[in-house]
Amino acid sequence: MTSEPSGNGKHSEHNAVTSFLRYDKTAPLKEWKLLIVDDEDDVHRISRLSLTGIRYDGMKIRFLSAYSKEEACRVLKENDDIALVLLDVVMETDHAGLDVAAYIRNDLQNYLTRIVLRTGQPGQAPEDGILDRFDIDDYREKTDLTAQKLRTLVRSNFHAYKDKRDLCQITHRIININEISHGIVSCESIFEGARYVYRTLVKLLTGVTVDSEDDMKGHIFSFINAGGDHITYIDYITSATVPEDKLPDNIIPRTIRENRAQHSGCRYTFMSSADFHGMVYYIENSGDELIEFDQDIANLLQETLSTHYRNMYLNDLINRNQREIMYRICEVVETRSKESGVHVKRVSAYCELLARLSGMPSKDVELLKKAAPLHDLGKIAIPDEILHKPGKLNDYEWQVMKTHAQIGYEMLKDSEIELFNVAAEVAFYHHEKWNGKGYPNGLAGEAIPINGRITAIADVFDALASDRCYKKKWPMDKIYTLFKEERGQHFDPHLCDLFIEHFDEFVAIRESLDSGELTAEEMFQNLGPQKPAPEAG
C-alpha cells in the first residue's frame, strides 16, 4: 500500500458494548442490511444476482449500494444497523476502502457491523496490522468469491453479527440492571424505592420519562398474602384497596402467583417481594415499536428487585424496632417530667426544620429528628424536688441539674445503633453555648457538634414559649428579640439567622403541636420516614 488510512481504531469488546449502548438497539431485527461498496457496476450487479433469494434466520436481505468513499460514509451514517459491508479496497484512491473501515470503527464507533474487504488487485493486500486495527472480519479476492462461496460468507457473517448483537443486548440489559440496583441502594424508604423502580422501568421499556406522581397511579401495587387463595392489592400511590377484577390487567395477579415477570403484547409486569408481601409494577408501552422481551433477563431483574425489596423491608423493620425502643425510653422520661411529652415532640419538629434549612443531608436530618426527643433523657436521674421545684434553683441544685447532660450522654453513648449515638451527642452538647459559656464542657463555636447547636436553639425556643413549674411562657415578640440578642453569644450565628428568618414557621409548628399532652406512642408514630410529597411535574 502506498499510504495508510486515516484514524487509529482500536477494537475491543468494550467498544462493541459502547456502540450498542449508544444506539440502544432494542427492537428485534426484521431484515438483514447488506451494503456493497464498489466503484464498478458489474460488482454490484453480480453480487446481488448471486445472493438472490437468500434468507437467513427467516429474514430476507435488503441491499444497499455505494460507489465511493463519500457515498459509503453517508449510507453508513444513515443506517446504523447494517449487518455486513462488502468493501472494495481500491476505489477513487488506493486506500479508499480502508478509509471507510476507519470511518465505521472510529467516527461512528460502530463495532458491530461486519466488514469483508474485497479486492481485484491481489498485490495490494493490506497488512495484518491494518486488518487488526480496523477489526476487518475477512479479506477476499474478487475472483475467489464464486456465487456459492459468497452466499456462505454472507450467511456466516450474518450469524456472527447476530451473535455479537445479542451479546451486546444482554450486556446492555445487565448494565441497566446494575444501574437500577445502584439507584435503589440510594433510596431511603420502600416508597421512594418503588417510585424510582417504576420510573426507571418505564424509561427503559418505553423511553418515556415519568415526572408526575399522578402518572404512577394504577401502575404500582403493593400486595399481601401472596401464598393464599385471596390476595389484597393496594394502589401504592393512592393507598386505595383495589379488587382483583378491577386491576388494569390480568397479568398482574399472574405475575404474583407465578412469581415471574410477565408480558402480553406491549404490557409488562415486574415484581419485588419478601415472603407473603411485595410490590408489582405494571408498565404499558403505547409506542409502535415492540420491545424485545427476554424472559431470563426479566427474571434476573425481578430477582434483583426482590433482593433490594427484602433488604429495604428489613431495614424498615430495624427502624421500627428502634422507634419502639425510643418510645419505651420516652415512656420512662414521661413518668419523671410532665413537660416531656409535647415538649420533645416540638423540639424534634423544630430540629428537623432547622436542619433542613441548614442544608444538612436528608439522612442526617432524619437521624436528628428521631434522636432529638432524648435530649433531656438524663433528667430521669435528677431528684423530683429539684426537677419539679416551682422556684429558682440554688447553686447546689443548679449544679445537680446540670449533670443531666452528662448522665444522658453516658446512658446512650458507645451504642452499635447509630441513632443512639446521635442521641448521645444531642444530650451531651445541647446546653453548650457559641461563646463558650455553656455546659458541661464549655465548648465554643464549631467545636460544638452541629446537632448540639441545632438542638440548643430548638430547646430554648420551646422552653421560653412554654409554661414551666418555675415560670410563665414568654410572648413571641420577646422571644424573637432574645434570639436576635443571643446571636453569636448563646447560639450559632448562621443557624440563628436561619431561625429568625423563618421564625413564623417555627411558631406555626408550635401552634400545630400545642393541643395538649401527647403520649409517647403519639409522639413517635410520625417520626419514621414519611411519604414524600409529589414531585413537581
pLDDT, tens digit, for every residue of 59-97?
999 999 999 999 999 999 999 899 999 999 889 998 899
Percent of the chain scoring above 70 in pLDDT = 84
**265 and 376, same domain (yes or no):** no
When mean pLDDT is compared across 189-203, 362-376, 388-402, the lowest value belongs to 189-203
262: helix, strand or coil: strand
Distance (Å, whole) CA 251 – CA 161: 34
- Quote the pLDDT of residue 484: 96
Distance (Å, whole) CA 208 – CA 285: 9
pLDDT category of residue 295 using cuts at 50, 70 and 90: confident
Domain harbouring 464, CATH code: 1.10.3210.10
Q: Among 260, 279, 313, which residue terminates a domain?
A: 313
491: helix, strand or coil: strand
Q: Do the domain assignments include residue 303?
A: yes
When mean pLDDT is compared across 312-316, 342-346, 484-488, 489-493, the lowest value belongs to 342-346
Task: Answer whether the bond into residue 440 is a cis peptide, omega within 30°.
Answer: yes
Bridge partners of 269, per DSSP, are 262, 282
With a cut of 50, say whether residue 16 has pLDDT above it: no
- Quote the pLDDT of residue 337: 63
Residues 6+ apart with CB under 8 A from 293: 263, 268
What is the bridge-based pairing of β-strands 59-66 and 32-37?
A: parallel
**196 and 267, same domain (yes or no):** yes
- Quote the pLDDT of residue 122: 60
Beta strands in 412-464 (DSSP E): none
**291 and 362, same domain (yes or no):** no
More reliable by pLDDT, 54 or 518: 54
- Mean pLDDT calculated for residue range 383-400: 90
Distance (Å, whole) CA 126 – CA 138: 11
- Mean pLDDT calculated for residue range 110-124: 82
With a cut of 80, say whether residue 263 has pLDDT above it: yes
**157 and 206, same domain (yes or no):** no
Give the CA diameter of the chain.
Answer: 112
When mean pLDDT is compared across 96-100, 249-253, 395-399, 530-534, the lowest value belongs to 530-534
**211 and 297, same domain (yes or no):** yes
Q: Do the domain assignments include residue 333?
A: no
With a cut of 80, say whether residue 340 has pLDDT above it: no
- Mean pLDDT calculated for residue range 496-504: 96
| Element holding 391 (H helix, E strand) | none
With a cut of 70, say whether residue 14 has pLDDT above it: no
Domain harbouring 159, CATH code: 3.40.50.2300
Q: Do the domain assignments include residue 430?
A: yes
Nearest to 372 by CA among 334, 343, 414, 393: 343
- Quote the pLDDT of residue 203: 83
Q: Among 169, 194, 210, which residue terminates a domain?
A: 169
Q: Do the domain assignments include residue 323?
A: no
Q: Do the domain assignments include residue 174?
A: no
Residues 6+ apart with CB under 8 A from 370: 322, 323, 326, 348, 419, 422, 527
Instruction: Report the catalytic residues.
Output: 379
**152 and 231, same domain (yes or no):** no
**219 and 280, same domain (yes or no):** yes
Sheet holding 138-141: strands in order across? 55-56, 59-66, 32-37, 84-88, 114-119, 138-141
Supply the DSSP string of 38-104, one letter for each residue: -S-HHHHHHHHHHTTT-EETTEEEEEEEESSHHHHHHHHHH-TT--EEEEES-SSSTTHHHHHHHII
More reliable by pLDDT, 119 or 332: 119
- Quote the pLDDT of residue 139: 86
Residues 6+ apart with CB under 8 A from 50: 147, 150, 151
The answer to whether the Cα torsion of 362, 367, 370, 372 is positive or negative is negative
Q: Do the domain assignments include residue 256?
A: yes
Question: Phi first, then psi: what are they for 108, rounded to 5°?
Answer: -85, -10
**198 and 269, same domain (yes or no):** yes
pLDDT category of residue 368 using cuts at 50, 70 and 90: very high
pLDDT tens digits for 406-441?
999 999 998 888 889 999 999 999 999 999 999 999
Q: Do the domain assignments include residue 378?
A: yes
Residue 162, class by beta-carbon neighbours within 10 Å (0-12 exposed, 13-18 middle, 19+ buried)? Answer: middle
Question: Phi first, then psi: what are they for 419, rounded to 5°?
Answer: -60, -40
Nearest to 35 by CA among 47, 46, 26, 27: 47
Bridge partners of 138, per DSSP, are 116
Domain count, the chain: 3
Residues in the chain: 537
With a cut of 50, say whether residue 23 has pLDDT above it: no
> Please, which contacts does 507-513 make with residues 24 or more away whose CB atoms are closer than 8 Å?
507/476, 509/346, 509/349, 509/350, 509/353, 510/346, 510/462, 510/465, 513/342, 513/345, 513/346, 513/349
Nearest to 371 by CA among 313, 312, 430: 430
- Quote the pLDDT of residue 471: 77
pLDDT tens digits for 131-176?
777 788 888 888 777 889 999 999 999 999 999 988 887 887 788 7
**390 and 448, same domain (yes or no):** yes
With a cut of 70, say whether residue 183 has pLDDT above it: yes
Domain harbouring 243, CATH code: 3.30.450
What is the bridge-based pairing of β-strands 267-274 and 277-284?
A: antiparallel
- Quote the pLDDT of residue 359: 96
pLDDT tens digits for 236-251?
888 899 999 999 999 9
Q: Among 313, 348, 370, which residue terminates a domain?
A: 313
Distance (Å, whole) CA 228 – CA 206: 33
Q: Average pLDDT of the chain?
A: 83
**114 and 36, same domain (yes or no):** yes
- Grid coordinates standing for 219? 401502575
- Full domain range(s) for residue 271: 186-313
Q: Do the domain assignments include residue 7?
A: no
Distance (Å, whole) CA 89 – CA 1: 10
**245 and 303, same domain (yes or no):** yes
**285 and 434, same domain (yes or no):** no
